[in-house]
Structure 1
């Protein structure tokens, strides 16, 4: 999540101490969305994913809802303290979009809009128009991941991963532009594209889940490419370095 905010700030030429506060608010809102998602899906998860915190009995449903609400409030307040009214103008609709998705608006475009707004949150103190390109690129990436996630349980036909793979190639091309950004975009395309290619050959639920996981865990590489494209190559490399760390961490804690 911080990579989205930094990408927006870099595009708007507005990387300042406030960016750290906005990134923190973004993380809080992401956590809120995860808790709200588990609360909203608690009845479905009893059948499909009984190992999750609420259906397994580890976390009461009411506690998950309270946590989601508390984190949302903290995120909005934090964004306001860090970035003032301009940040609130993005943070409030971002929070509303997160909850809309969790409570039933499960279209991939809604989830993708959350990530695009997150990029714009980072750019809220500068020229928002300059952040439209990275926001649209992150939107497209998130769309592919969310479309794939709809087939994590039952699998899909080969047509689905083929289409998302084409989308991944387009996203990688959009993130290039400089030697560093092109290299990071290529890394992103390889790491996310390879499991999708496997899924195209055998579109089982297991291969679809691997593709979804790769899309989530390699987002820092795409964010790094966008940051480098905006003129901050060293910062882009630093953000992209989170990708291999995230893959190791995901062996212990599920990213979803």
Structure 2
């Protein structure tokens, strides 16, 4: 069982639960359809987990040299089982995304939108794992996967055009996508000593993502209303407060680019997603703290499992 949890990188799946919850609440100001929400949650988690499995499957030869203790090179899980799980999860996740468009009437004429985004997300995951991760486009591809997942979670809403999304959701999705692109770039050579200049460039991208994310309070009337009497700068300040802990770890790794320092910065960067998502929930429903606290508690199982299962 532990081998499968390591293959799935199960500690990271809680960030997908947090992302989906935050994006859904941001658009709906509550959970107006539990069946639709659960289907979107399953879609995001399964496609993400498929990406983790296929990543190890396609990286088998490299892992035999650099990480022979991983489940596939060590023989703890057979290649046939990993292949069936990876592609099975990918198909099932896409199917759940398609099904989400049929269980609620709130999406209007664009019932097909979650299914289309699910297909795009699955394709992006497959393209990343199959080869893009080894190119300069790798971090962008990984960031786009996170962006598509957030757009998928916020796609079940009626709009005038199929391409219309809440401005705050766009700032959220693209900001976090850029942020994850930076974290991915930061982690590219985590198994050996990294280049300080490369880490500095990745840190700049991380900060850029946080800046875009913070624009939510300036672009969305509903978000501005939820701020109530607070300044629009309150939200960027909150994002910056959380972001400082990530950037500080990145700077430490730039100064001492050992695998341990880089991996710590990456771990903190990934876990910070849950805190960002909790903050989004708080502003999406300013009168209800339940969802924000629920998302924040996802840190506990992620940290606990992270003691035995690496996040990267």
Asked if Structure 1 and Structure 2 have the same fold, meaning a TM-score greater than 0.5 normalized by the shorter chain, the answer is yes
Matched, 1:8 2:46: no
Higher helix proportion (structure 1 or 2)? 1
Q: CA deviation at 1:172?
A: 3.6
| Structure 2 residue aligned with 1:155 | 193
Residue 72 of structure 2 aligns to a residue whose secondary structure is coil
| C-alpha contact (below 8 Å) 1:87/1:121 kept by paired residues | yes
Q: CA deviation at 1:184?
A: 5.4
Q: For 1:157 and 1:24, how far apart are their aligned partners in 2?
A: 38
Matched, 1:121 2:146: no
Q: For 1:2 and 1:83, how far apart are their aligned partners in 2?
A: 19
Mean Cα displacement is larger for which, 215-224 or 48-57?
215-224
Encode CA deviations 1:53-78: one digit per residue, 9 max, x unaligned: 11001011121011111111211122
The 5-angstrom pairing of residues 10-29 of structure 1 reads 10-13=25-28, 15-16=31-32, 17=34, 18-29=36-47
When Rg is computed on C-alpha atoms for both structures, the one with the higher figure is 2
The 5-angstrom pairing of residues 98-113 of structure 1 reads 98-106=125-133, 107-113=138-144
The 5-angstrom pairing of residues 176-215 of structure 1 reads 176=214, 177=217, 178=227, 181=235, 185-186=239-240, 188-215=242-269
| Structure 2 residue aligned with 1:88 | 115
> Whose RCO is larger (CA < 8 A, sep 6+)?
2
| C-alpha contact (below 8 Å) 2:179/2:207 kept by paired residues | no
Q: CA deviation at 1:108?
A: 0.8
TM-score (structure 1 length as normaliser): 0.89
Question: 5+ unaligned residues in a row in structure 2: which ranges?
Answer: 1-15, 103-111, 218-226
| C-alpha contact (below 8 Å) 2:179/2:208 kept by paired residues | no
| C-alpha contact (below 8 Å) 2:58/2:129 kept by paired residues | yes
Encode CA deviations 1:6-49: one digit per residue, 9 max, x unaligned: 23223323643112220121111111111111110011100011
Q: CA deviation at 1:146?
A: 0.7
Mean Cα displacement is larger for which, 193-202 or 174-183?
174-183
Residue 51 of structure 1 aligns to a residue whose secondary structure is coil
TM-score (structure 2 length as normaliser): 0.74
| C-alpha contact (below 8 Å) 2:174/2:212 kept by paired residues | no
After superposition, the Cα gap between the structure-2 partners of 1:192 and 1:173, relative to the gap in structure 1 and judged at 3 Å, is same
Mean Cα displacement is larger for which, 213-222 or 60-69?
213-222
Residue 191 of structure 1 aligns to a residue whose secondary structure is helix
Over aligned residue pairs, what C-alpha RMSD do you find?
2.3
Q: For 1:4 and 1:65, how far apart are their aligned partners in 2?
A: 26
| Structure 2 residue aligned with 1:145 | 183
Q: CA deviation at 1:160?
A: 2.9
- Aligned pair count reads 256
Mean Cα displacement is larger for which, 214-223 or 24-33?
214-223
Q: For 1:117 and 1:203, how far apart are their aligned partners in 2?
A: 31
Q: For 2:240 and 2:285, how far apart are their aligned partners in 1?
A: 18
